[in-house]
Structure 1
Amino acid sequence: MTQKEEPYFVDLESNPERAFQLCADGQARLLRRVAQLSDKDVRAPSLLAGWTVGHVLTHLARNADAHARRLSGALRGHDAPKYANGQEQRRREIDNGAGRQAEEIIADLRSSMSNLEEVFAQCAAAGWPNGHFLGGGDYGVVACPAHRLREVEMHHVDLGLGYTSLDWPDEYVAWDLPLLLASAADRLGTSREQRLFMAWLAGRGPLDVETKLTPW
C-alpha cells in the first residue's frame, strides 16, 4: 500500500499567482453550475438564512467588483477600500440586485468575474504592486486573489445547488482550514462551548452537537 500524499501547502495569501489560477478555476466551475438557472431558481432560498440564490449570486458579483476596485487602485498607487461607503453600500447593493431576473443576475456575475480576472492579469504583469495596501481592511491587496477564492468556494456551497465542501480543491482546504481553525476561539459563544470544543480539538471528547460557531 502506498502512503497517502498530503496536498502540497501553498500560502495563497503570499502567492497571488497560484491563488489567481485557483480562483479562475473556481469561478468557471460556479458559472457552469448557474448558467441555466431560471427566475424561479434565483428566487429560491439559499443555504444562508434570509438570502435567496439571487442574493448569493449578487453578492459574488459585487464582491468581484470590490476586489477589482482594490487591485485597480493599487495599480495606480491608490489605497482603495473594497466599498467606498462601507458595509451599508455592500448591503444595499446586494438587496437591490437580488430581485432581478435570472438572465440579468447571471450576465452581471459573468461580467464582474471576467473583469476581475482581467485586473488579476494586469496586476500579475505588473508584479502585484503596492501589495501591502490595506484599503481599510485587515489583509494586504496582494492577498485579494486568495480571499476572493474563499468567497467563491464558500458561496458556491451556500447556493445549495449540489456543490459541497467535499468538492473543494485540496490546495484551498490546505490553506484555509488552519485560518478558520485559528478564528474558532473568537467565534465560540459561551465558556462551556469553548471548553468542549477545545477538548474535541485535543482528542479528549466528542464534538458537542450544540456547539455553534458564529458565521464566518
Structure 2
Amino acid sequence: MSTACHVNLARVTLTDAEIERDVALGKAVHAALLERIAAAGDRLDAAGPSRLPGWNRAQVITHLARNADGHRRMIEGAGRGEVLEQYPGGVDGRNAGIDEGATRSAAAAIGDLVEATAALEAAWEATDWQGAGRRTLRGETPIDRLAFLRVREVALHGVDLDIGIELDDLDPLYVRLELARMEMLWTARQPMGLTPLPAVALALAPPARLGWFTGRLAVDGLRPAAIF
C-alpha cells in the first residue's frame, strides 16, 4: 500500500494540559461505565453475547480489567526506567486473560474491573508520564499516550458490552478527539491523491462516523475503514 503521508501520532509530544485532559476523560469514562454496569445489577447476563463476535459480556469486562493491569504495568515499569510488555506472555497472555473471563460470574468480573480500574487511576496520579511501554498488539508507545488509549478501550468496549450504551452516548469530547486521530490514520493509509474522506462518511453524524472508522457500524455505500 502506498502512503503519501505517514502519520505517527505516538511521536507527538503531549503538553501537560493535554495529558490532564486525557486523564480527566479516562476517569469520566471509567465512572460512566461502572455506573452503567452497576445499574444493570442482577439483570446483567455475564454469559450472554456481547457485540464482539465470539465474546460474552464477562470476557469483555475481564479484558477491560486486564487492559487496566497492562497499562499500570507499563506505567510502573517506565517509572523504573524499563520498557515492559503490556501483557505478560504477549499475545498468548492477552488471549488467555480474555478466555479466563468466559465462565466468570457478573459479580466476579465486575469486582475485578473495579479493583483494576482503581489501581490504574492510582498509577496515573503517581506517574510523571515519561518513558515508554510495549503495547502487545501495537509496539512501543510513549507513556503519555496511554491515558487516551485507555479512554478508547473503555468507551468502545462499553458499546460492545450491549448493555444499553450506544455510539450516541459516547462523550462528545472523546468523539471529537478520536475522529481527528482516525481521520489522520485513514488519510495516511490511502494511495496518493485519494486522501479525502468519502462524502458518505462526511455526511454521517460524528458518533456514527466513529462507529464506521472502528468497524462497529456498517454504512451503505462505504467499504470498511480498515485503519487498524
Give the shorter-chain TM-score range.
0.7 to 0.9
What is the TM-score of this pair, normalised by structure 1? 0.78
Q: What are the Cα deviations for residues 115-147 of structure 1, in whole angstroms up to 9, with x where unaligned?
A: 000000101xxx3232xx242624311111010
Q: What are the Cα deviations for residues 170-196 of structure 1, in whole angstroms up to 9, with x where unaligned?
A: 2211211122233336889xx9xx899
> Of 171, 174, 177, which residue of structure 1 is paired with 2:176?
174
> Of 147, 150, 155, which residue of structure 2 is paired with 1:148?
150
Distance in 2 between residues matched to 1:75 and 1:209, nearest whole Å: 48
Contact 1:196-1:208 at 8 Å conserved across structures: no
Q: Which residue of 1 aligns with 2:185?
A: 183
Q: Which residue of 2 aligns with 1:34?
A: 37
Q: What are the Cα deviations for residues 156-175 of structure 1, in whole angstroms up to 9, with x where unaligned?
A: 11111111111212221121
Q: Which residue of 1 aligns with 2:206?
A: none
> Of 101, 107, 110, which residue of structure 1 is paired with 2:111?
107
The structure number with the bigger radius of gyration is 1
Q: What are the Cα deviations for residues 34-91 of structure 1, in whole angstroms up to 9, with x where unaligned?
A: 1244486111111111111111101100000000000011111111121132111101
Coordinate RMSD, CA, aligned: 2.9
What is the TM-score of this pair, normalised by structure 2? 0.74
Contact 2:37-2:44 at 8 Å conserved across structures: no
Task: Give the stretch that moved more between structures: 162-171 or 60-69.
Answer: 162-171
Residue 130 of structure 2: SS of its match in structure 1?
coil
Q: What are the Cα deviations for residues 78-115 of structure 1, in whole angstroms up to 9, with x where unaligned?
A: 11121132111101111012211111111000000000
Q: Which residue of 2 aligns with 1:21?
A: 24
* Paired residues for 1:1-216 under 5 Å: 14=14, 15-35=18-38, 36-38=40-42, 41-123=45-127, 127-130=128-131, 133-135=132-134, 137-184=139-186, 198=198, 200=200, 208-209=220-221, 211-214=223-226, 216=228
Identity %: 32
When residues 180 and 77 of structure 1 are mapped into structure 2, their CA distance, relative to the original with a 3 A threshold, is same
Task: Give the stretch that moved more between structures: 31-40 or 65-74.
Answer: 31-40
Aligned residues: 193
Distance in 1 between residues matched to 2:201 and 2:161, nearest whole Å: 29
